[in-house]
Amino acid sequence: MDLTVKIRNKTLPNPVGVASGTFGYGEEYAQLTDLSALGALYTKALTVEPRPGNALPRLVETPAGMINSIGLANVGVERFLTEKIPYLETLTCPVILNVAGSTEEEYASVISRVDSQNAIWAYEVNISCPNVKHGGMAFGTDPVQVERLTKTLRKLTDKAIIMKLTPNVTDIALIAQAAEAGGADAISCINTVMGMVVDINSRKPAIPAISGGLSGPAIRPVGVAAVWRVSRVVTIPVIGLGGILTWEDAVQYLLAGADAIQIGTGNFVTPDASVKVLNGIISYMKEAGFQKIEDFHGHF
Partner 1 sequence: MKNFGSSILNQKEIAIGYREMTISWPQSLEAPLPGQFLTVKVTENPAPLLRRPFALSGFDREKNTASLIYQLRGPATRLMATLEINSSIEVLSPLGNNFTLPEKDETPLLVAGGIGLGPVLYLARELDKNGFSPRLVVGGRTESFLPDLSNLKNGSIHYCSDDGSAGFRGTAVDYLKSLDWKELPSARLYSCGPQGMLNACHNLALEKNIPSEVSMEQMMACGVGACMGCAIEVIGPEQYARVCKEGPVFDSRRIKWT
Ligand X SMILES: Cc1cc2nc3c(=O)[nH]c(=O)nc-3n(C[C@H](O)[C@H](O)[C@H](O)COP(=O)(O)O)c2cc1C
* Contacting residues toward ligand X, per CB under 6 A: 19-22, 44-45, 68, 70, 72, 98, 126, 129, 164, 191-192, 215-216, 219, 241-244, 263-266
* Residue facing ligand X at closest CB distance: 21
What are the residues whose beta carbons fall under 8 Å from the beta carbon of 283, sequence distance 6 or more? 247
Answer for the pair 169, 175: CB distance below 8 angstroms, yes or no: yes
Residue 129 appears among annotated catalytic residues: yes
Does residue 269 belong to the site contacting partner 1 (CB under 8 A)?
A: yes
Among 87, 268, 284, 290, binds partner 1 (CB under 8 A): 268
Among 7, 12, 29, 132, binds partner 1 (CB under 8 A): 29
Which residues in 68-87 contact partner 1 (CB under 8 A)? 68, 70, 73
Catalytic residue among 12, 40, 100, 129: 129
Q: Work out what residue 272 binds among ligand X, partner 1, none; the CB cut-off runs from 5 to 8 Å by kind.
A: partner 1
Q: Work out what residue 23 binds among partner 1, ligand X, none; the CB cut-off runs from 5 to 8 Å by kind.
A: partner 1
Q: Work out what residue 267 binds among partner 1, ligand X, none; the CB cut-off runs from 5 to 8 Å by kind.
A: partner 1
Q: How far is the CB of 147 from partner 1 (least distance, A)?
A: 31
Does residue 22 belong to the site contacting partner 1 (CB under 8 A)?
A: yes
- Name which of 157 and 290 has its Cβ closer to ligand X: 157
Active site residues: 129
